[in-house]
Structure 1
């Protein structure tokens, strides 16, 4: 675990912006396989006459190469980006995901406000939060999905973070941004936020860029640390 400033930034924080997928809960190979299979189903539904297994392989390659399973489908088959975004999240099954009651218990004891910034769809975020038992900390106006910030990517634009901060009524120096994708932390760090990389048990890069302030195994480890620091100062 890496922590800057002896935890001072954490202790002073008043809110948290969270990524959703593979941050508030872990993605598993089983779910990734399911998601790619559903993407192949959608492609065939939309008229692509290729074997299902070949379409799954394309989704896997797209994820490896671009970090987004649908990109090759948009570029090769001309799928509308927004339509694919909504359709794939409609057919994905959130009940395959698992949360932890312990995370909810620790969130209960934090006097912080929370918001979501996700590249998933709004409907998907609502379904997932409900399924993993965290919906009570994320009211509707604090769930920010890719379509609600006009498909601006977190790695390239301040727009998603500005929207999230506005919903919290806070400025960057009062907020922590928790995310599993390294390059998505560069912009919030530039905006003054304390940045937290969640690794889901994987080893972080040996040479972490300076825009990463904190590294934790998962959301539970991070929230436990925040709670311990804040209670230690009270």
Structure 2
């Protein structure tokens, strides 16, 4: 497949994602934009990656808001067991032991495939200091330790939303900014796979992709000329290997 053809495919996916977003088909927009993001990464097309981040973030923001709205009505649903092949109702879910992060991820992905807006958090056993470890599983594993809810069996929605923010903040803070930019992009992409409901994580990926695009275009080639963009652009403006473990220092 030529670079130009792949670029055209990416532009088509981005157009389809934008159309789905305009129609308020948020799950479809999220699926299309996420597919385009990973396709652009495989092509080293960091300029398109940057452009994809914001519509992907918006689709996820809208989907999360629908989940939080449902949680406002029905409360946070606490789970300690799973139903095989379950398609959940819209809302907010807290998975507790003996369930693990992989169980929470399966429910989130099943809901996305079924166009059901959900937000899912998994907590692990409380620490000796009575902190509440929360975890998200994906191409990276992200953990943060936060204060537990006042009532662990009936956590309120404000605690749930705070926990989502803390996971995303930890995902960003754990990236080594001393790495080469391409490795930072991959680190952020892996964390976004685990923690998709965090706006600043999308923004961090967008900014890093733009910086890497500038660096790539400005880098001289062996013949002395500047390196061209990886894919022809109209001028408008999965990771291999094992999962990475991300943990806070608390």
TM-score class normalised by the smaller sequence: under 0.3
Answer 1 or 2: higher relative contact order, Cα 8 Å, separation at least 6.
1
TM-score of the aligned structures, taking structure 2 as reference length = 0.23
Q: Which has the larger radius of gyration?
A: 2
